[in-house]
Structure 1
Amino acid sequence: MKRVLIVDDAIFMRMKLKDILEKNGYDVVGEAQNGVEAIEKYKTEKPDLVTMDITMPEMDGVAALKGIKEINSAAKVIMCSAMGQQSMVMEAIQAGAVDFIVKPFDSDRVVESLNKASK
């Protein structure tokens, strides 16, 4: 079972993603509400996959992605973005994100992205 860390500053989004993932056989091992927490949780939980919101307080998703990649260059991080954040999505892909999913979440798209990333 793949272990996933969910990072989003909105509790509703974390709950929604957790629900989708658990129904599809993923083990949600942790949640973080900003990039600083994400890096700490990544170190302690060592998840197989991370879903990372782009826009968050304290440290945004792109900076957190870079921090996680410094810990583990093979880390698999999937960015989550609202519409209209294309430039940040491109920056995240260049920084090593494996995919991105757009909010509001489409369950099938989320599962497809995680399945693809976990191969």
Structure 2
Amino acid sequence: MVVDDAAFMRMMLKNVLVEGGHEVVAEAANGMEAVQQYEAHRPDLVTMDITMPEMDGIQAVRAIVSIDASAKVIMCSAMGQQQMVIEAIQAGAKGFIVKPFDKDKVLAEVGKLVPNPV
């Protein structure tokens, strides 16, 4: 599942994941949608933007982990958000990727949590 308030970022990340052989089962534009979509789809992995309207990524990670303690969430952050990334990891995120996205780095980080698709 791809979560970002910017449709362009969701599309870019979705393209990287699909090209890497992964299936994107859901998308969300804010943290509240992310929690609802997580409950509906139970994806193997979530990429979560930190800064979003209505509910930010850190709050959404906490909510998702409270639903499913084994949830695998990778935070997406711009440079300079290290403190927020640390908070997200403490909230239950399992990794992070930096914007702008580098295809190889994204797939490497995803590969640490989800086995490579066949």
TM surpasses 0.5: yes
> Is 1:79 equivalent to 2:78 in the alignment?
no
Q: Flag as ranges the 4+ runs of structure 1 deviating above 3 A.
A: none
In 1: Cα distance, 2:91 partner to 2:37 partner: 20
The corresponding residue for 2:40 is 44
Aligned-partner Cα distance in 2 for 1:79–1:26: 17
Q: 1:2-53 deviations in whole A, cap 9, x for unaligned?
A: xxx0000000000000100001110000000000000000000110000000
- Residue of structure 1 aligned with 2:96, choices 100, 105, 110: 100
C-alpha distance in 1, partners of 2:43/2:5?
Answer: 19
**What SS does the aligned partner of 1:115 have?**
helix
Ranges in structure 1 where 5+ consecutive residues have no aligned partner: none
Secondary structure class of the residue paired with 1:27: coil
Q: CA deviation at 1:95?
A: 1.2
Residue 9 of structure 2 is aligned to residue 13 of structure 1: yes
What amino acid is the match of 2:114?
Answer: S
Task: Measure, in 1, the Cα distance between the counterparts of 2:62 and 2:91.
Answer: 6
Which structure shows the bigger proportion of residues in strand conformation?
Answer: 1
Structure 1 position 28 matched with structure 2 position 24 = yes
CA distance in 2, matches of 1:118, 1:92: 19
TM-score normalised per structure 2: 0.96
Q: Normalising by the residue count of structure 1, what TM-score does the alignment of the two structures yield?
A: 0.95
For 2:55, which of 59, 79, 82 is the aligned residue? 59
Q: How many residues align?
A: 115
Q: Distance in 2 between matches of 1:46 and 1:117?
A: 15
